[in-house]
Structure 1
């Protein structure tokens, strides 16, 4: 099919061929017929795309890139060749393409350039009629390549995947900063914090629409959104129409604080993850705005402007949940506004999250739950504070790991690549919040985790609303005998874990390779899948069709509430499946079988990247961010496969992106070795996996033991050995003994 030729870099050749950059450099040196540079510089040469494809095809190197990566590459090449600006049209085209069957999409991709462009033009015009405020669309002959890639991406990976690639490219072109998606588990938490079933929901900083999609999953049928970036507003519209076709969607592009698109809207609920630390938010021009019912926000308090904007858009009695930085709870410049929010009863709860819950990943963000006071409504005498970071901080899991005695470790920490125990965070936050809303006056809380603080006690000179400070005061309520028993259990577990770790670490199952490292021939996972050595499975939107090269969805099923879901965090933490089937809306998910190899779809430095499914994993559903490799046991050893697929260099070479590194499964490479030799490597990799699991268990138990000991000493439940013995002796003399 005729396509416009373009120039590509060596990095893009590696993505097209599914190999590393080093392999491309090796081809250039070893093969005289490798295409000569057609442009660029000596240090950064460019190559003619069609010449490169012809060379690769002659040597059997079929593209190993996923459909989304093909779309990403085509967009780069199109921008390089000066293609027309049709980003809005492409976003609209996703909506129309998602309404076609896989067979219809295949027919479109196989048509001539002229027919393809004409079909896309008709689709985009149809979609524009359904999307409010959409502008005119005009495709040209030079857009054929990107249109073909877009239709293929929607067919094979679904509309949301295509939307993500298009928005990613547009945000790069506009040099926008701070635009990112709220993680789905966090979005679901915010939506579930709103009591009842709100019908109308507003997100005044909607971005890609993640929070509104979560609201739709909770039953909302009127979705209102606004975002400063037009590409985000349009992306949100299309995304919501795909995920909640029965809902009424209205998304506008403008600055919510300066140019409110819904000035008269009183919604049942407001969900928002606003931009942080913005000084130019309109402080001077909005000084007399009627929204500031709780006080004019200081120039450094844009977050408190968003809080009051949310309250102004709530119907009386309606709830809002906002994700805010921790500084909002204690910064001096916001004291008066915070005091009025507490005094009026508008602030109902502040929930601290562990670091890594959302960008910025190194900061423990907070969720503020607010309720617009009702005239004549009940008096609010207290505010709930929950510190989920105390028990569910980054890295938390059952300390014993899979198959051991469960002892919860509360390891603090966090960083860019950390995973979060969303099941624990969500359960703790919702449990405390629901108990508090049912009867605030009778709420007892949980020492060190959840505590209801009286309004009078909060209205001091600082009005510091930091949960960790306020729940810590309740630790004295812990029973000393109960804490001592828990400490003994953790200590015994730690001693056992240390012995197991020593035994595992002492085993030798390898030897030096000699004077130089071993080298081997490798094949991509896509090549192995095409040869029948393995099957590559993933969860896909219903109706999406997988590719024959190993990118297919395989046999999947709609989410079953009786089955758990294996998530990427489970692999990183070494825990069993903990995901909720509600996290797979509109998807078919493969059922994991014993011996499957599971690889996280998002690369990070924390925890394992791959493992082999055991009895605990078997029968669970595959999560959205996990790739499943099902090897033919007569040709591939499962642990051999897991060891090489999860290798650091392999993951790095197969990953794309900047802030978030997404693993392209078809590009992962595996050495070509006889099965017997594979098994020897597999046994070594199994031992490495066990070593990592034992180390994790010992670390978490050490953290748990230290936390209990330190908390008991500072809280007064535990006494140092000498003081405890002396106290017992004094009590043993009785009241008549001389002192």
Structure 2
């Protein structure tokens, strides 16, 4: 195998070895000028040349989208792996991809191959739960898996194989749902084949099972897109961004997600902890609905060593809880339902310290609940529809301004569109802290220009962009801790004083505070543009207030 050290390549060679068109390389250079390797020399024809090793290392951070992978390329393969394969080089990174390929390939086959289990013969949720259960058992329960494998090796026409479902259910933290047990009745041969196929490609590293499990969850999220149930999932890159922002800031003893969906937020926190060697000693808890998503969350956490995580049924609005958590937590991450109705006629809740939210929208029910659960020094990160940051509804604006003045709001991050499989609603991350009675400034990060397309309609944040967002927040916190000035980044981040926030009527959209990056070769005056945007925002606030008043009037008439 050829060593890339010392080898130089042109842009055309980079495109050929990475399996992309020539303009894609120019796009990488233009979009990532701070990280893409620079040219080191020019050839005889004047063509710029790059160090192949540096290019390969940069491409290692870019996973090949599913619609761009070749027939024999496994999930998780990067453009760096493809670049090395094309150049005949062998490295640790490409070896990892090869080692992971058998298990990931078999998982992809089980998820989508109609020859093993004809599509539609088992409902999608029941198929997902069973296959995820097999990955969990093979990766974390060796004794149970050994028994299951022996049972699967017997004839499919005897009582042994007919008991496969019962053995699988017995090895899980909460068993299998009755519908899954029923759906697989009469399909024991396919189930036994799945067990043997996974066993034949078993991996020694539990991390490979975590990757396989996450791959299955993502594939089912894609397949669910547009159907009832697609709201069960949180995009992995959104969860990783939330975890990267707040997990390193707190010396936590517990992380909690009050609406855990399929567990993506909590598993992202555990993965962050694992990287620092502290995951095993920290408590994990959550709540959610329906029971199916709770089962997926338990399996994902169990595969990561948190099989005793406290996971309970939840609600779509905290004001509807019959049994609140009852304790403070250090970390809270959540992707609660967007813009859903509250509990209606619920009496005033203890966590409504800033005022009762409107009954037609639970956004500020969730935000106040998160603040109320935080221990001193704790942090929360919630995914919110953008409207929560600028809503002109009288109650929501009152709550938002009170949260700001009490120092409960620390940072807002606007994310790019297209991150969710199930909705096009643009979202913002709210970083909250335990109130301290005052507010000096709030950090605003405008990350709407980030992200890469996974498909024609779905975007994700690659790891280096997740790190860039988190790095900006931590730099601001470090500046606060040391009393030094925080400069921010033009077009990306800025810290706004409480006076400026008051002047904007407590509207918290990052676009109001982060000026566009200057265009090279020009020196535009942004003040006129900002004034124009403020005028437009004021008009929108007035219109929103009129609509909110009309909605409340209609709701009062119908509830009378």
Shorter-chain TM-score tier:
0.5 to 0.7
Contact 2:257 2:285 in 1 (8 A): yes
Alpha-carbon shift at residue 222 of structure 1 (Å): 1.4
Residue 307 (structure 1) aligned with residue 119 (structure 2): no
Task: Name the residue aligned to 2:228.
Answer: 175
Q: C-alpha separation between the residues in 2 aligned to 1:160 and 1:64?
A: 8
Task: Name the residue aligned to 2:256.
Answer: 202
Task: Name the residue aligned to 1:722.
Answer: none
Residue 281 (structure 1) aligned with residue 342 (structure 2): yes
Alpha-carbon shift at residue 472 of structure 1 (Å): 1.7
Cα 1:270–1:145, aligned 2, differ >3 Å: closer, same or farther?
same
Residue 122 (structure 1) aligned with residue 167 (structure 2): yes
Number of residue pairs the alignment of both structures matches = 394
Task: Name the residue aligned to 1:69.
Answer: 112
Q: Map of 1:121-520 to 2, 5 A cutoff?
A: 121-127=166-172, 130-131=173-174, 142-152=186-196, 154-155=198-199, 156=201, 158=209, 160=213, 164=217, 175-183=228-236, 185-194=237-246, 195-219=249-273, 220=279, 221-242=282-303, 244-246=304-306, 248-255=308-315, 257=318, 258-259=320-321, 262-278=324-340, 280-282=341-343, 284-333=344-393, 334-359=396-421, 362=424, 364-373=426-435, 379-389=438-448, 392-394=449-451, 416-418=457-459, 420=461, 422-439=463-480, 442-446=484-488, 447-460=490-503, 462-472=505-515
Alpha-carbon shift at residue 370 of structure 1 (Å): 0.3
Alpha-carbon shift at residue 328 of structure 1 (Å): 1.3
Q: Secondary structure at the match of 1:321?
A: strand
Q: If each structure's helix is expressed as a fraction of its own residues, which one has the higher value? A: 2
TM-score, normalized by length of structure 1? 0.47
Cα 1:259–1:231, aligned 2, differ >3 Å: closer, same or farther?
same
Q: C-alpha separation between the residues in 1 aligned to 2:321 and 2:116?
A: 37
Alpha-carbon shift at residue 708 of structure 1 (Å): 3.2
| Gapped regions of structure 2 (runs ≥ 5) | 1-70, 72-105, 203-208, 274-278, 528-560
Q: C-alpha separation between the residues in 1 aligned to 2:218 and 2:451?
A: 29
Q: C-alpha separation between the residues in 2 aligned to 1:387 and 1:201?
A: 26
What are the superposed Cα offsets for residues 491-541 of structure 1, whole Å, 9 maximum, x if unpaired? xxxxxxxxxxxxxxxxxxxxxxxxxxxxxxxxxxxxxxxxxxxxxxxxxxx
**After the TM superposition, which of the residue ranges 201-210 and 260-269 deviates more from structure 2?**
260-269
What are the superposed Cα offsets for residues 283-324 of structure 1, whole Å, 9 maximum, x if unpaired? x23341111112212234422221112122221221001122
Cα 1:394–1:125, aligned 2, differ >3 Å: closer, same or farther?
closer
TM-score, normalized by length of structure 2? 0.60
Q: Which has the larger radius of gyration?
A: 1
Q: Secondary structure at the match of 2:160?
A: helix
Q: RMSD value over aligned CA atoms?
A: 4.2
Q: C-alpha separation between the residues in 1 aligned to 2:160 and 2:215?
A: 21
**After the TM superposition, which of the residue ranges 206-215 and 90-99 deviates more from structure 2?**
90-99
Alpha-carbon shift at residue 78 of structure 1 (Å): 3.5
Cα 1:92–1:418, aligned 2, differ >3 Å: closer, same or farther?
closer
Q: C-alpha separation between the residues in 2 aligned to 1:394 and 1:85?
A: 32
Contact 1:277 1:301 in 2 (8 A): yes
Q: C-alpha separation between the residues in 2 aligned to 1:67 and 1:88?
A: 12
Alpha-carbon shift at residue 332 of structure 1 (Å): 0.5
Cα 1:222–1:134, aligned 2, differ >3 Å: closer, same or farther?
farther
